[in-house]
Amino acid sequence: MSSKKKLTPAQAREQESARLFGKHVTRLKGNVLLAVSLVACAMPVLLGLRYWDAIPEIVPTGLTLPNGEDDSLPRAMAVYGLPGLLCILDLICHMQLKINQERMTTPKAPVRLMGRFGFPIVSTFLCGVILLHAAGRRFDLAFVTPCVLGLAFLILGGHMFDCPKSAKLALHFSFTEPGDSWQAVHRFAGWTWLIAGLVILAIAMTGIGSGLTLAAVVLIAGAAPFLYGFFRPTGLR
């Protein structure tokens, strides 16, 4: 007789919900995504340093306190403090997801909403708007486009890192089918796209490079997993 306790329908639904919303990942993937998301949250610091001299000592945030006063911040707090705060919140969110995963429980709604890349998205655009506005710069497509591309690569890289064969969004090509090729190609794509995402965000924040530089990074990162899978030695497939 099996000693395994049979789950009630309610418990089964709870565990399935935990798998769906708990963002269950391996320890390696969890650590990698935590490190990558923390770096992404901190990226707006580069934008603040880029425009440091143009940013006034007191930075209006556009937010207001309950008494109606403007919640302005010192320049150092706007450049370092806001991204730092979002890094802390990101760390808390990842730790909560880890706890939920270990306990097989469903995360609360705010944690489900933010997931593993919610705070990098918030940091990129919230801090970007505040710092660019303070420096008298426009929040335009020249800034938004690489930010969106960088975040998209991060999210796709996180998904591909240990993508199962049952996933609809995957690299379904002939060279991924034999042997361990599926895992190898998708793990390579995960690492490549996570790194590319950080590089593209850095380009957006620092302004280093031209549109051609950005296009080259996107093209190389996008093609790398396909080239890796296609030219991977047959004996390793």
Summarised one tens digit per residue, pLDDT across range 138-164 is 999 999 999 999 999 999 999 999 888
Joined tokens for residue 105: 């429980």
Summarised one tens digit per residue, pLDDT across range 166-193 is 888 888 888 777 677 888 999 999 999 9
CB burial of 201-216 (b: ≥16 within 10 Å; e: otherwise) equals bbbbbeeebeeeebee
Phi first, then psi, for residue 120 (nearest 5°) are: -60, -40
Q: How confident is the model at residue 62 (pLDDT cuts 50, 70, 90)?
A: low
Contact 203, 213 (CB under 8 A): yes
Quote the pLDDT of residue 101: 84
Other beta carbons within 10 angstroms of residue 191's beta carbon come to: 16
Q: How confident is the model at residue 10 (pLDDT cuts 50, 70, 90)?
A: low
This prediction has a pTM of: 0.84
